[in-house]
Amino acid sequence: MSASFDKDKESLVKGYSPMHDHPLQHQIYYNNTNAVNGTSNMVSSPSQSPAPSSPSMVGYHIPMYGNSMARYPVQMNLAQKLQPQQQPPTSMNHNPLAHHSLAAPTGNSPVSSHMDLSTMNSSQPNTPYLARQLSYAQMSRQSASPHHHARTAAALARGTPLSSTVTITDPNNPSKTLSGLGAKTRGKRDPYEEGVPAKTNSSNPLQSWSSLDMGGMGLQNLSSTLFNAYEFLTTLYVNHNNLTYLSGAIGNLSNLKVLDASGNKLSSIPPELGLLVQLRELLLFDNNLVTLPTELGALYQLETLGLEGNPIHADLKSLLLKEGSQAVIVSLRENCPVGMPPPEREWIIVDGDSSNDDANDKLTVFSYNTLCQKYVSAQYAYAPSWALTWEYRKELLIPEILGWNADVLCLQEVGMGEYENCFRDEFKKLGDYDSLFIPKTRAKTMGEKERLVVDGCATFFRSSKFRLLDHHFIEYNQCSLRRDDFKKTADIYNRVMTQDNVAVLAMLENKQNKARILVANSHSHWDPNFADVKLVQVGLLIEEVTKFAQKHLKPSAGAPADMPVYESASQMPIIVAGDFNSVPESGVYEFLSKGYVRQDHEDFGNYAYGTYTSEGLSHDLNLRSAYSSMNELPFTNYTPTYKGVLDYIFPSTNSFSISGVMGPIDKEYMNRQVGFPNPHFPSDHIPIMAELVLKSPAKEKKEYRPMFTKD
C-alpha cells in the first residue's frame, strides 16, 4: 500500500531563499550573442522575472512555472509570437517557383506579402542554410509518387531501373510483413512495469527491416497501430498524402531517425514529436505550418529541419535561413515553458505501520547521485542551458535533499568544490548535519584549483542524533593492491587500477539507545563494459565493511556499561548505499542481496582476479535491498539513452526491518519527459530513501560486566 509521507512531525528547514528574482532569471540564452556562431540575434534580455508558483516543500520554495509562462519572458515572448494567427488555411501550390517560400500567408498575417526565397538574396546573404532548404525541398517534391523511397531502394538493391512498387507492410495488419517476419516485437519496455530497466532501443533482434514508406498514397489518416506496433522503425515516410494532423502517439516511435511528412495539409504538429530525440531529419516541407511546438527543442540531435513551402512565422524563418536548423531547435529549447512539476512522490509502506515504534529506533537513509557539475555536458543538451548551470541546479538540489529530512544522507558524484563551498556548510546550517567526504584518488595528483572539480562521495549525518565514532575511506584501486592474490594478475593493473572510484565508511553511535550503526556510501565505476570491475569493487567494499565492523563489535575502553555488544559483523546494524551502476540482474546485485556469486559468473568474463574468480565471492551480512519488496523502482537513472535502476540502499536484515520507502515519480509526468536533468530535476539520477527500524536484538544485547564490592 502507499500513503503520503507524513512530514507534519518533521522540523522545518528554513533559511534558504527561493529562486524568485534570482540573477539567472534575468539572463537569456541568446543574450545578444548567438549560441551557434556568436553573431547578433533576435532575442533581447527579459524585462521582468517570473514569480515562483509552486507550493513550498519543508520551508523551501522550488521555482516552477506554469504551462502558459516561458522560463525567460522576453519583450515579445517567442512562444506567444509563434502562436497561429487568425487566418484562413492556405491552399497547396505545387508550382516550383511558388514553393520557394518560408513566409507567412497574405491577409491578416504578420507578414503581408508571400515572400519568395529566390528573391531574398537582394536583402539577405545567400546562406548555406537557404541552399540546403531549397535543395531538400526540391528532392522532396520529386518523391511524390507512391512508395517512391521504397521503389528507389529496391531498384538500387537490384541494380535495375525502376519498374514497380515494393509491397509495404500494412500498418492495419501487422501480420503482413515485407520479409515474412511477423511484426511482433518486444516493444518498448515500460520502466513502470515490475521495475524492469528500459532501453531506448527496443527493436526485435530478428527484425530485418526498419524503414517504412507510406508516401504518395493519398492517405487521410494513419492507424494507431503504426505508432504502437512499429516502435522499431528508424525511418518513416508519410509524405505527399492528405494528412491534416499527426497523432500524439507518434511519440512512441522512439527509434526514429528520419521522419518525412512533407506535402500534406498539416497546420500543426504534435508536441510529442519532441520525445523523438533520436531524430536527425524532420522534413515538413509544403504544409500549412505557421509555428512549431516549443517541445521540439528537445531534439538536440536534429540535423535537418525542413520547413520550406510553409507559411512559417517570420522570426522562425529568419533564424532558420540565417543560422540553420540547430539554431531553431536551440531557440525553441531555451524558450520552452517549463510546465508544472510532478506531484510529490508518495511514501510507500513496506513492513507495516511503524507509528508505534520508538522514534529512537527509527532511521531514515537517503541516497542520491547529484551529478557533478563537471560532467554536465552535451549529452544533456535536450535540457535548456540555464537548467544545467550550477547556480540553477544548486537551488533545486539543496531543498530536494534537505526537504526529506533524512537522518543520514549518502551522496555520490559530489564535486570537491561543491562540497566545500556549498553542501558542507549549507547542510550544517540548515539541517544540523556533520559530514565526511572523500574525492576520487586522482585528486591527490592535482593542484588545489584542479582538484576542486574532482567528484567523490559525501556522507552526512544529523549531529543531534548521532555521534561519529570512527570512519574509513576506501580507494578501490589502492585497496586492490593490498590483496596478494590480486597482485599476481595483469587484469588488476589493466582494469581495476585504472578506475579510481571511492567509498566512505562511517561508524555512527545513536546518542539515545547507544546502538552502533555502520553506514557505507559507495560509487562504482560507470562503464557497462567493466562489469567485472564493478563486481571486484563491491567485493572489496564488503571485505572492508566486514573488517571495519569487526573493529567495533565491542565498545571502546571507558564506554558506558549499557553499550551494546555484537557477536560478529553480521549482527551489527549495517547499511550499504550508493550508486552501484549495476542493474538488478547483475552480479553486483546478486552478490549484495544473496551473499554470494560463483567464480564463473558471466560478469567476471574471462578476466582473472585471484580467489574471486577461482573460488567465488561470499559474505554473511544478510543484506536486502530496501526496494526489493516492490521489485525495485521503475528507474533511478533516466536519460534518452538509458532508463533503469542503478542506485540502492541495502540494510542488514538481522538488525533492521524496512518500514517504508520513497515511491516512484508520477508516471503521467514521466510520459512527457525526454530525460533528466530538466528544469524540475537537477540530476540524471533520482534520490531514493528508506525508513528503517532497529530490531530489538540489535539494541538489547549488552556486554555483561560483573559488579564487585568490597567486604
The CB density around residue 538, as the number of other CB atoms within 10 Å, is 27
CB environment 181-219: b (16+ within 10 A), e (fewer):
eebebeebeebbeebbbbbeeebbeebeebbbbbbbeeb
Give the three-class secondary structure for 338. coil
Find the farthest-apart pair of alpha carbons in the chain and give their distance in angstroms, rounded: 119
CA distances from 425 to 317, 336, 385, 549 (A): 49, 34, 27, 29
Task: Kindly tell me the burial class for residue 48, based on how many C-beta atoms sit within 10 Å of its own C-beta (0-12, 13-18, 19 or more).
Answer: exposed
Catalytic residue among 579, 603, 647, 684: 579
Task: Kindly tell me the burial class for residue 493, based on how many C-beta atoms sit within 10 Å of its own C-beta (0-12, 13-18, 19 or more).
Answer: middle
Which residues, 6+ apart, have CB-to-CB distance to 649 below 8 Å?
A: 365, 367, 410, 575, 576, 577, 625, 626, 627, 688, 689, 690
- DSSP H or E stretch at residue 487: none
Write the DSSP string, 500-542: --EEEEEEEEETTT--EEEEEEEE----GGGHHHHHHHHHHHH
Give the three-class secondary structure for 379. helix
Please state, in angstroms and rounded to a whole number, the distance separating the CA atoms of residues 586 and 47: 53
Q: Give me the numbers of helices (H) and strands (E) for the chain, helices first please.
A: 16, 24
Please state, in angstroms and rounded to a whole number, the distance separating the CA atoms of residues 461 and 428: 10
Parallel/antiparallel/unpaired status of strands 455-462 and 433-439: antiparallel
Write the DSSP string, 255-282: T-SEEE--SS--S---GGGGG-TT-SEE
Please state, in angstroms and rounded to a whole number, the distance separating the CA atoms of residues 651 and 639: 28
Ramachandran category for residue 21: left, alpha or beta (phi over 0 → left; psi -120 to 50 → alpha):
left
The grid coordinates listed for 665 are 515519480
The grid coordinates listed for 73 are 519572458
Q: Is residue 692 a contact partner of residue 651, using CB atoms and an 8 Å limit?
A: yes
Q: Is residue 522 a contact partner of residue 461, using CB atoms and an 8 Å limit?
A: no
Residue with cell 560463483: 598
The grid coordinates listed for 431 are 539541517
Write the DSSP string, 446-461: S-TTGGGG-EEEEEEE
Ramachandran category for residue 318: left, alpha or beta (phi over 0 → left; psi -120 to 50 → alpha):
alpha
The grid coordinates listed for 216 are 504518395
| Bond into 52 cis (ω within 30) | no
CA distances from 97 to 134, 278, 316, 512 (A): 11, 33, 21, 84
The verdict on whether 579 is a catalytic residue reads yes
CA distances from 190 to 37, 196, 252, 276, 635 (A): 40, 8, 11, 16, 10
The grid coordinates listed for 352 are 507495516
Give the three-class secondary structure for 295. helix
587-594 and 531-550 helices, crossing angle to 10°: 20
Q: Give catalytic residue positions.
A: 579
